């Protein structure tokens, strides 16, 4: 790796275009926090309403800590925190299109993703055989060495993970579903668009067999794909291209019970995994058990949480969709672009895109802490539209405006406190 980095540097400095990149990075470093005091550390005591940069660690109170782990960048590759990143907290520059801004227009650097074409029948994908000369292969290798691969992410929105630690991302701008291998060797994307099944991918979830469920807001259906991206079936297809759902945006799966929850504002559906409707609740009026502008879903082991009223309250239900209580989130910035997650202790995480931060509430909706604020550096956010917590309390934040997914690890500093906290919940 050290040799490869050295080769990259030698070749890069020989290209005039790289000088512009160097200038941009220089300006980015000037905008970074002062480094005279060494590694930046968060204050030990602070009001929970005050946002703080989530890097390298954040004190969430009660001996709880959030640690930055790494990011899935625009090219789809995961980059763990390096010593240089820890020292500089480097800024990231993202391209507005599919290729990095410094790549000449005629250069095609190639992708880190394998494409899975999902055409609507009767169309089908045809592989085009292209010959490559030795000179062309050498040229392409040099291009990738200098510029890297093309950007595959455009606007990451909903995120989830499977048992293989793969990150599944809905990207409505491409449009596509990205399935990213943390080692970067088996990543692929299910391609959407004209003549394909997917038109506007939104919520994504994974069942116990690692099958991928995708809510298509435009088609009004949920599409099911195998772990390899192969199409399995659809849910809510009424025929002639018409879907059962009006505008499904968020979905969640109870992997143990085999239940699928679909948020089709202002309604919530509970189905089995074959698509049979088991329950439907919600109308446009705000009566008990109904919703007003719901935006996202999250599951804990024994509860379903619905982020409602444009992110200003949470409706807490059991797994049979019986309302338990409503929790108002104090001083929450209302927005359609909000994400919801819950950790193993029952604490609730809400990402507010317009405020570029994530707030942490306890099970009674008392604000405990917050992290992140607007910016492009590590631990800063630009319009974070979604988040996900896996079973190990690893937090994935869809940093949409920065075209990346940032990854954090939540933990408790004292094992005794961790056990006590788990018991209380």
Query: What pLDDT sits at residue 50?
Result: 75
Which pLDDT tens digit goes with each residue over 85-112?
777 766 555 544 555 555 565 555 678 8
Judge whether residue 227 has pLDDT over 60.
yes
Whole-number pLDDT of residue 97: 52
HSE of 100, CA atoms in CB hemisphere, 13 A = 22
pLDDT at 413: 78
- Candidate from 100-104, 151-155, 161-165, 285-289 with smallest mean pLDDT: 285-289
Answer whether 152's CB lies under 8 Å from 112's CB. yes
State the pLDDT at residue 140.
56
Task: Find out if CATH 2.120.10.30 is the number for domain 46-424.
Answer: yes
Q: What does the pLDDT average to over 194-212?
A: 97
Domain ranges of the chain: 1-31, 46-424
User: If residue 155 lies in a helix (H) or strand (E), which one and from where to where?
Assistant: none
pLDDT digits over 379-398, tens only?
Answer: 999 999 999 999 999 999 99
Among the listed residues 328, 334, 327, 292, the one whose alpha carbon sits nearest the alpha carbon of residue 311: 334
Q: What is the pLDDT of residue 336?
A: 78
Cα of first residue to Cα of last residue in the chain, in angstroms, is 45
pLDDT grade, residue 163 (50/70/90)? Answer: very high
Candidate from 67-76, 276-285, 316-325, 344-353 with smallest mean pLDDT: 276-285
pLDDT given at position 16: 37
Quote the percentage of the chain above a pLDDT of 90: 60
The pLDDT value recorded for residue 55 is 94
């Amino acid at each position: 790796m050290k040799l490869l980095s050295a080769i990259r540097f030698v070749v890069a400095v020989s290209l005039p275009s790289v000088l512009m990149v160097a200038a941009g990075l220089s300006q980015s470093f000037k905008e970074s926090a002062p480094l005279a005091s060494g590694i930046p550390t968060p204050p030990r005591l602070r009001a929970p309403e005050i946002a703080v940069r989530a890097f390298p660690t954040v004190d969430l109170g009660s001996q709880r800590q959030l640690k930055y782990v790494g990011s899935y960048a625009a090219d789809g590759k995961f980059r763990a925190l390096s010593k240089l990143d820890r020292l500089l907290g480097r800024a990231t520059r993202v391209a507005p299109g599919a290729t990095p801004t410094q790549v000449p227009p005629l250069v095609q650097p190639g992708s880190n993703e394998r494409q899975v074409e999902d055409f609507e029948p009767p169309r089908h994908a045809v592989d085009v055989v292209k010959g490559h000369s030795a000179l062309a292969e050498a040229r392409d290798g040099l291009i990738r060495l200098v510029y890297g691969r093309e950007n595959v992410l455009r606007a990451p929105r909903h995120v989830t993970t499977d048992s293989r630690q793969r990150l599944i991302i809905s990207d409505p701008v491409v449009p596509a579903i990205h399935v990213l291998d943390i080692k970067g060797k088996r990543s692929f994307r299910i391609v959407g668009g004209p003549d394909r099944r997917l038109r506007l991918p939104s919520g994504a979830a994974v069942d116990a067999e690692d099958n991928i469920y995708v809510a298509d807001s435009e088609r009004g259906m949920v599409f099911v794909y195998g772990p390899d991206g192969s199409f399995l079936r659809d849910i809510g297809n009424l025929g002639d291209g018409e879907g059962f759902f009006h505008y499904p945006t968020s979905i969640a799966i109870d992997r143990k019970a085999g239940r699928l929850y679909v948020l089709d504002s202002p309604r919530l559906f509970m189905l089995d995994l074959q698509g049979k409707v088991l329950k439907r609740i919600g109308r446009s009026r705000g009566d008990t058990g109904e919703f007003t502008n719901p935006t996202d879903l999250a599951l804990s082991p024994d509860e379903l949480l619905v982020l409602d009223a444009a992110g200003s309250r949470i409706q807490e239900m059991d797994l049979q969709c019986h309302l338990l209580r409503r929790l108002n989130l104090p001083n929450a910035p209302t927005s359609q672009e909000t994400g919801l997650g819950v950790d193993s202790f029952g604490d609730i995480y809400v990402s507010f895109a317009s405020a570029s931060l994530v707030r942490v509430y306890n099970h009674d909706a008392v604000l405990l802490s917050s992290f992140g604020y607007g910016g492009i550096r590590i631990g800063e956010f630009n319009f974070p539209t979604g988040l996900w917590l896996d079973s190990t309390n690893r937090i994935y934040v869809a940093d949409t405006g920065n075209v990346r997914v940032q990854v954090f690890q939540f933990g408790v500093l004292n094992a005794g406190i961790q056990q006590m906290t788990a018991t209380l919940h």
